[in-house]
Homo-oligomer: A and B are copies of this chain.
Amino acid sequence: MSLATDREKLPAVGKPTLYKQIRLDIERRILTGEWPPGHRIPFEHELMARYGCSRMTVSKALSELAQADLIERRRKAGTFVRRPTFLSAVLKIADIRAEITALGRSYGYELIQCSRRAATAADRARLGARQTGKVIAIACRHSADDVPFAIEDRLIDLDAVPEAAAADFATEPPGSWLLHHVPWTEAEHSICAIVADQQAAAALDIAIGAPCLVIDRHTWRSARPLTAVRLLYPGETHKLIARFKGG
């Protein structure tokens, strides 16, 4: 069968491949509102004709858009622009050491306290672990250019992460060590604001009553709790940036 010669001309910037052109073209129509949420986008056979290509090619473009959650495909019914119910933003929380060095500032790390102990009831509650034997409790401070950047209060489940027993948290920050040595499957962050108490104020070198941004992060591997950490940042100087990512 002869290919269509009336392939619609798209702005070929740098000659992207055809399926990417199709993907970008549809994406553009969605993002500009030309095809609003709920709109049924043309059937695959119509897109085949429009772009003069095979069904696999348009299907590949649509599959990627579906994976990016921009469209929804329903058998027999067609393909529809998704109605965004949430403003979905990607929050990239870097390992603190990496974050500071990426900013071109000198990273400082100070272990305040590190103890290994049998898990208390409070430890188990914090980790969300039913039966945990030993834990490591760590308190430490991160600084950038010798200015306090964040304080960290962490609990590691030694039964779930036995390798942590051999790690030297006096020299390596636990977050960096964990990120590079321990695979995980789920993480949850809870973000809130508090005011600094006496202890936090002293550690962060801010005034008592100054605002602090708090990130509580829980990490699991296959539903098993690995570690729970609370990070405390000076609230007015530190900002978390979350960017929308479409696709």
Contacts and interface: CB of A to CB of B under 8 A. Distances in A.
Interface string A185-228: 11111111111000000000000011111100100011000000
Contacts of A185: 31-32, 246
Contacts of A209: 195, 209
Contacts of A194: 193, 211, 235-236
A116 B222 CA distance: 53
B240 A190 contact: yes
A233 to B, nearest CB: 8
Interface in A223-247: 233, 235-236, 238-244, 246
A186 to B, nearest CB: 6
Given A191-B191, A236-B193, A91 B213 contact: no
A91 B92 contact: no
A233 B87 CA distance: 17
A108 interface: no
Given A88-B91, A194-B235, A183 B222 contact: no
Interface stretch (A93-101, A126-134, A165-173): A93-101
Given A67-B67, A193-B193, A193-B235, A187 B89 contact: yes
Given A193-B193, A236-B193, A183 B88 contact: no
A211 B186 contact: no
A241 B31 CA distance: 26
A93 B86 contact: yes
Interface in A40-93: 64, 67-68, 84-93
A112 interface: no
Contacts of A148: none
